A and B are shown apart, each in its own frame.
Chain A
Amino acid sequence: DAGVIQSPRHEVTEMGQEVTLRCKPISGHDYLFWYRQTMMRGLELLIYFNNNVPIDDSGMPEDRFSAKMPNASFSTLKIQPSEPRDSAVYFCASSPLRAMNTGELFFGEGSRLTVL
């Protein structure tokens, strides 16, 4: 089975532009997570979904960030407008219900965002 697929792998954009990161979770997984990794703050949970419904978005830094999961096989993380401090690696991860009581997450390869 294919793993979690993220696109783009790299994105370079200018301040003020809209950025959309995409994620395809592993088929059959009920949970989807968006994490952000920076040198200063490490790995932070931004938001997670259960069966396409956002459960906890308390980690979303600002209103400039939004995430959607229109169906079980696709999610987006959007930043509008982007700022240089948004530069980071954004990870998507998914997990099946049976693994939720063990905490194992399956990560994608991340999207490296650079905002100039």
Chain B
Amino acid sequence: AQTVTQSQPEMSVQEAETVTLSCTYDTSESDYYLFWYKQPPSRQMILVIRQEAYKQQNATENRFSVNFQKAAKSFSLKISDSQLGDAAMYFCAYGETSGSRLTFGEGTQLTVNP
């Protein structure tokens, strides 16, 4: 079974600075998807960024980018120019290409200090 591990329960960053959230996963599959979801205090889960495992190029979405290291099974999220609205719980997730199941990590609570 696939597992996703986020080793940082909490992180903090100063506004306008850069922060990196870590995620590792375990799978025997060669093709899969990886995601970062954001959960603000409103509770709703929001997709931040997605990476296909067959793509070598790291995904980017505006201030959000990932560092995907397939051999190391590592998938970190970098937030540049952090904003107060980035404060939330961030979940790393693994998705199978053959199905719909998403496996989530434990989450990292990000605090952005003004």
Our verdict on whether A and B bind, yes or no, reads yes
Q: By DSSP majority rule, is chain B's interface helix, strand, loop, or mixed?
A: strand
Q: For the complex, give the distance between the alpha carbons of A12 and B96 in Å.
A: 35
Set B44, B46, B100, B103: member contacting A33, Cβ < 8 A:
B100
Q: Is the CB of A42 within 8 A of B100?
A: no
B43 partner residues in chain A, CB cutoff 8 A: 89, 109-110, 112
Set B35, B46, B105: member contacting A103, Cβ < 8 A:
B35
Q: Is the CB of B102 within 8 A of A105?
A: yes
Classify chain A: how many residues form its interface, as a range.
Answer: 20 to 34
Q: Is the CB of A103 within 8 A of B50?
A: yes
Query: A20-28, A61-69, A76-84, A93-101: which one contacts chain B?
Result: A93-101
**CB nearest to B107 among chain A residues:** A42
Q: Is the CB of B101 within 8 A of A56?
A: yes
Of A31, A45, A103, A108, most buried by chain B (CB within 10 Å of CB) is A103
Question: What 5 pairs between A and B have smallest CB-CB spacing?
Answer: A103-B95, A107-B45, A43-B104, A103-B33, A110-B43
A48 interface residue (CB < 8 Å to B): yes
B44 partner residues in chain A, CB cutoff 8 A: 107-110
- Chain A nearest CB from B39 CB (Å) reads 9
Q: Is the CB of A45 within 8 A of B105?
A: no
Q: Is the CB of B50 within 8 A of A109?
A: no
Q: Which residues of A pack against B, CB within 8 Å?
A: 31, 33, 42-43, 45, 48, 50, 55-56, 89, 91, 93, 95, 100-105, 107-110, 112
**CB nearest to B32 among chain A residues:** A103
Set A89, A95, A110, A112: member contacting B100, Cβ < 8 A:
A95
Q: Is the CB of B101 within 8 A of A45?
A: yes
Set A55, A56, A91, A102: member contacting B45, Cβ < 8 A:
A91
Q: By DSSP majority rule, is chain A's interface helix, strand, loop, or mixed?
A: strand
**With A45-B101, A93-B45 as given contacts, are A104 and B50 in contact (CB-CB < 8 Å)?**
yes
Q: Is the CB of A101 within 8 A of B102?
A: no
A112 partner residues in chain B, CB cutoff 8 A: 43
**CB nearest to A58 among chain B residues:** B101
**CB nearest to A59 among chain B residues:** B101
